[in-house]
Amino acid sequence: MLKDAVQAEREQEADCARIENAVRLAETAIAAFASSDEARKRRCEIRDRTILTIADVRRNIVQRAKLAKETRKQIIKAFFRERTPGQNSDDYSAMLDDVPTSALVYHMQYLLRTGELDRVRIVYHVFENRLDRHRYTGAFDEIAAQCAIADPSDDLRKRLATICRLAEEVDTKLTNLWFRQFGPEIQDGVAHEPILESPGLGNDIDNKDEVVIVPVPGRRC
């Protein structure tokens, strides 16, 4: 759990700026080479060197994003665990049995707008017990956070969201750097070499600590 969201956001912004600067320098250097086999090799070297150089910085960015997500989850769970059920909660919960999981997301949003917090808690627990909830967890958690993390200025929720968003934006830039100008060999518009999976790139923050962006040994650029 993040101990200081303000400091974490500042560090996230600073690290993201470092990676963006490294990517910008690499793209400028890559663009300076003409189209030839030797130039292609040099472009690959620049790309790989850049990826390796910022690997530790990216790892820190990913870790902060994971902590931000975990912090939000813990706050949400604590908020709904501490609230006591209102009257007729069993009847209302039974009414929700026939409501599709996707509709619970919109119903939760409606209850927040109308200020029916007791029913919000019931919908939350009904959702948590649905087997197909993982398809809608992102949208549902965002709505639940509006209720659980509701300080006057809404700063904490925004800071946690910013930390996660910056991590995703950085990985998008690194994905573009990896694939731009380095796709499969193409002859007459036909790809003759399969596109290999890029190492450790993607949008799943939860799994990013398990991989590090490094060049694939033996891969043709």
- CA dist 130 and 133 (Å) reads 5
- CA dist 31 and 10 (Å) reads 32
- CA dist 93 and 122 (Å) reads 6
pLDDT tens-digit readout, 45-93: 888 899 999 999 999 999 999 999 888 888 887 777 766 555 567 788 8
CA atoms 39, 56, 199, 204: torsion sign: negative
Domain count, the chain: 1
Q: Is residue 95 part of a domain?
A: yes
Query: Is the entire prediction scored with pTM above 0.75?
Result: no
In contact, 114 and 82? CB cutoff 8 Å: no
Residue 125 tokens, joined? 């627990």
- CA dist 163 and 160 (Å) reads 5
Q: Is residue 124 part of a domain?
A: yes
pLDDT lower than 70: segments of the chain:
1, 82-88, 149-154, 180-221
What stretch of H or E contains 190?
strand 190-191
- CA dist 135 and 148 (Å) reads 21
What is the domain range of residue 202? 5-210
Q: What is the CA radius of gyration of the chain?
A: 23
pLDDT of residue 84: 57
Q: Is residue 119 part of a domain?
A: yes
